Amino acid sequence: MSTGYRFQTVELSTIDTSLLLAGILFAQSYYDGSDTTEKEIRALADSIYLRVDWQWAQARPPAVSMGWHPESGFIDADWIGYNEGMILNILALGSHTHPADSATWNKWVSGYHWATYHGQTFVQFAPLFGHEYSHVWIDFRGIQDAYMKGKGIDYFENSRRATLSQRAYAIANPLGLSGYNANVWGLTACDGPANKTLTIGGRSRQFHTYMARGASSLEEPDDGTIAPTAVGGAVPFAPEVTIPALVAMRTTYGVKLFGPYGFLDAFNPTFTTSGQQEAGTVDPQLGWFDVDYLGIDQGPILAMVENYRTGFVWRVMRNNAHIIRGLQRAGFTGGWLP
């Protein structure tokens, strides 16, 4: 934070770039006044977004690479198949200066897995963040690309089904983890208690620190760690089950889970072995609790609750020409699109 340089040798991430750009374009559309300051904000937003070279990032065209290291070049992974990268592809297609190839969206869709999981049929992705991040910025209600038109739903409905399926997984609780029920659930990328195997309640369990947890027909990476952001980021999709869950988690765990900045990142009711954690605190009765708030988790809670209440972020972003152009180049039609 004191230098602006990257941390150690982490990749320069195309999705982190895209989430930043989404916020910048929100500011561009929100500050729509005629005064000098607001005009400058809009111009600066364009100057940043239009400098992004999506064509350079297509290391293996037509897909966009997930990231790049100055030491070794592009990482061996591309944005193909459903996840949080939907916003990335829309931004890449919407550029006036360095747009991604027109075949990029079809390449992205080619990796989809359509399946039924815990009573819901939808495009699979295990952690809920993949069903939420793009929806923070774009109102997918009533608009469809060719794939969703063929399935008779939209991406909003897809995320609703993913949310309900994960709640059903928690109710079924196939691993017999502590605390899971109809109002205590939510798997996504989050902190965790430790990278070790422990025997708890007579059963050997493998725990992890930070990991992309989730549940789908493709995989079930679950060590009992629940993240409130998974539920909070899904409030607009299924408010009838997500809002009671948020209330129940705050009521049940109190200040151990909810503090001055809202929900702490994660907790694990199964991890009750005090002194074994690598981070956070352990209550022998209630389990492990993180001590960190993560901005990438707090943001979706805040924005998606507001989208549920007033549609604020969605309404502003419907006016952004770059977003509209990206959606149209991806083949979206209907609903609020011109």
Number of H helices, E strands in the chain: 12, 14
73 and 126 both lie in a single domain? no
pTM of this structure: 0.97
pLDDT band per the 50, 70, 90 thresholds, residue 170? very high
Section 2-24 average pLDDT:
95
33 and 173 both lie in a single domain? no
249 and 177 both lie in a single domain? yes
Element spanning 166, H or E: helix 155-172
Query: Which residue type occupies 17?
Result: T
Number of alpha carbons in the 13 Å side-chain half-sphere of residue 208 = 13
Q: How many domains does the chain have?
A: 2
Q: Tens digits of per-residue pLDDT, 207-256?
A: 999 999 999 999 999 999 999 999 999 999 999 999 999 999 999 999 99
d(CA 124, CA 161): 10
d(CA 328, CA 15): 20
Whichever domain contains 192, its CATH number is 1.50.10.140
d(CA 275, CA 278): 8
CB 226 within 8 A of CB 187: yes
> Does 93 reside within a domain?
yes
67 and 99 both lie in a single domain? yes
Retrieve residue 136's tokens.
């923070």
Retrieve residue 334's tokens.
């209907």
Q: Which domain holds residue 2?
A: 1-111
201 and 129 both lie in a single domain? yes
Q: State the pLDDT at residue 1.
A: 83
91 and 229 both lie in a single domain? no
103 and 142 both lie in a single domain? no
Residue closest to 263 by CA, chosen among 241, 289, 224, 235: 289
Q: Indicate the average pLDDT of the chain.
A: 97
**If you compute the radius of gyration of the chain from its CA atoms, what whole number of angstroms results?**
20
142 and 226 both lie in a single domain? yes
> Does 327 reside within a domain?
no
Element spanning 67, H or E: strand 67-69
Last residue of a domain, one of 90, 111, 132: 111
Section 137-154 average pLDDT:
98
C-alpha dihedral, 254 to 260 to 263 to 269, nearest 10° = -40
Angle at 166 between CA 164 and CA 169, to 5 degrees: 115
d(CA 141, CA 123): 16
The Cα-based distances of 212 to 165, 208, 219, 225, 266 in angstroms read: 17, 10, 11, 10, 12
Last residue of a domain, one of 111, 137, 158: 111
Residue closest to 298 by CA, chosen among 272, 326, 260, 271: 260
d(CA 9, CA 217): 34
6 and 89 both lie in a single domain? yes
142 and 232 both lie in a single domain? yes
Q: State the pLDDT at residue 32.
A: 98
Examine the pLDDT at 273 and tell me if it is beyond 90: yes
Instruction: Give just the sign of the alpha carbon dihedral 96, 101, 106, 110.
Output: negative
Q: Tens digits of per-residue pLDDT, 77-118?
A: 999 999 999 999 999 999 999 999 999 999 999 999 999 999
Q: State the pLDDT at residue 107.
A: 98
> Does 192 reside within a domain?
yes
3-class DSSP state for residue 69? strand
pLDDT band per the 50, 70, 90 thresholds, residue 290? very high
> Does 328 reside within a domain?
no
> Does 22 reside within a domain?
yes
3-class DSSP state for residue 32? coil
> Does 281 reside within a domain?
yes
Examine the pLDDT at 284 and tell me if it is beyond 90: yes
84 and 148 both lie in a single domain? no
> Does 179 reside within a domain?
yes
> Does 329 reside within a domain?
no
Q: Running DSSP on this structure, what letter comes out for residue 144? A: B
> 73 - beta bridge partners?
69
102 and 122 both lie in a single domain? no
% of the chain beyond a pLDDT of 90: 99
Q: Are strands 189-190 and 211-212 parallel, antiparallel or unpaired?
A: antiparallel
3-class DSSP state for residue 106? helix
Examine the pLDDT at 143 and tell me if it is beyond 90: yes
% of the chain beyond a pLDDT of 70: 100
Residue closest to 88 by CA, chosen among 67, 69, 73, 70: 67
Examine the pLDDT at 153 and tell me if it is beyond 90: yes
Retrieve residue 277's tokens.
């954690």
Examine the pLDDT at 327 and tell me if it is beyond 90: yes
